[in-house]
Structure 1
């Protein structure tokens, strides 16, 4: 089997910085903006192909993250979220073939805009300090699994569930690392079943794979050098602009859907 890869230089102008941003976010800034990868790459290729190319790279990053956080996780919260996430992944796989590129662009764009607006407007998700809940964990976990399957955008639902609990920062990051390690590797099965791992997609993933350790290494270094507030200000602006662009590009699909 001959391995091929995308040769368009415009693709790599988007893919290389996107993957570095994802790695930097995972390595030094709690992975909050890991969802930024798909929207950026979706500007130049199909969102379905973008998701397939990114998944193996995310799996590589997850292993690197797990090395640092293998013993740091809230296992009670994981037990509340993971079953629902697997259900969400299954639903994503079932409905995946019914979603065209434009609809997925709109979905990713809406998630990006809601995520940034929630951050900028400081919307309070819950009052007071709450604890783990299987019901809430299943709901947000299933939503995280679904959006993660469609566009690797499972971060916001997980944060909506976890942040109100105000757990230790390191434990929060470790729980997130374990959660996405599990669901990303589960996603490999339906992605393969749906034929997402073509020789071109796998070849392109392999070509971009070295960016995983580089991005995480940069994240660790920049965590000490770059103010976290500045990094997030720039990243959220970029995410918001990207979300607007995706909504504009997918407007034809929205009209057709309704």
Structure 2
């Protein structure tokens, strides 16, 4: 068990570095890798508060780059509704079923991202209503696993934001929704028992932000993302293996 907590620290550093680069992916990566060793219901109250610390800092730092029209007009309304639905479904979902559902989500996400990286010339256009439906579905995934990023990025495919504005807008989304989830964890009593672990991992956040900022400015993120998504494909398969 002690090795599992050490490994989780490595996963958190890796995941939060990626989020500092791209604006999403921290919880979905840390949760999918961590779920190989620890229960999902134990991981969420640790990862979500850590995320609001990081995204709160990045949201304030890059507040002038946030696309408020996209954020308030489409993303937050649909994501908030979906998050509440997903959180309400948590008590009725079996733990093993949740782990396999997460595995399927990870496989679809990683496979799609690898395909998209290989076919960068592909353009995606879809009706606004379809993007809104996918956004609500992303919110449901966020309420269940705090991992709505994959579907939200899918919903926003084809947007014209540059990578810095896209990142700033996404981290503001996660700060808002994960603040809501953290409040829910306080009310249902799940937050306080995990506070010691969350505080133990907190020093990894500035390191992840520093690494992510460095890579965001200086390194072509494509190769880093290929490695991460390939790792996620393997992880998704492992989550689907019955235990």
The CA deviation at 1:195 is 2.5
Number of paired residues? 239
Distance in 2 of aligned mates of 1:70 and 1:160: 23
The CA deviation at 1:226 is 4.6
Runs of 5+ consecutive residues of structure 1 not aligned to the other structure: 1-7, 253-258
The change in CA–CA distance for 1:128 and 1:51 in structure 2 (over 3 A counts) is: closer
Partner of residue 186 from structure 1, selected from 180, 188, 194: 180
Distance in 2 of aligned mates of 1:165 and 1:90: 26
Aligned 1:92-131 pairs, distance under 5 A: 92-122=86-116
What's the counterpart of residue 149 of structure 2?
155
The change in CA–CA distance for 1:75 and 1:222 in structure 2 (over 3 A counts) is: closer
What's the counterpart of residue 81 of structure 1?
75
Aligned 1:1-258 pairs, distance under 5 A: 8-32=1-25, 34-79=27-72, 80-122=74-116, 133=128, 135-199=129-193, 201-224=194-217, 226-248=219-241, 251=242
Runs of 5+ consecutive residues of structure 2 not aligned to the other structure: none
The CA deviation at 1:136 is 3.9
After superposition, what is the alpha-carbon deviation per residue over 1:26-66, rounded to whole angstroms, capped at 9, x for unaligned?
22233345520101111111111111111110011111211
Q: Which moved more, 1:35-44 or 1:219-228?
A: 219-228
SS of residue paired to 2:70: helix
TM-score, length-scaled by structure 1: 0.84
- After the TM superposition, which parts of structure 1 deviate over 4 Å for at least 4 consecutive aligned residues? 126-131
SS of residue paired to 1:165: coil
What's the counterpart of residue 4 of structure 1?
none
The CA deviation at 1:149 is 2.1
After superposition, what is the alpha-carbon deviation per residue over 1:60-84, rounded to whole angstroms, capped at 9, x for unaligned?
1111211322121222221212112
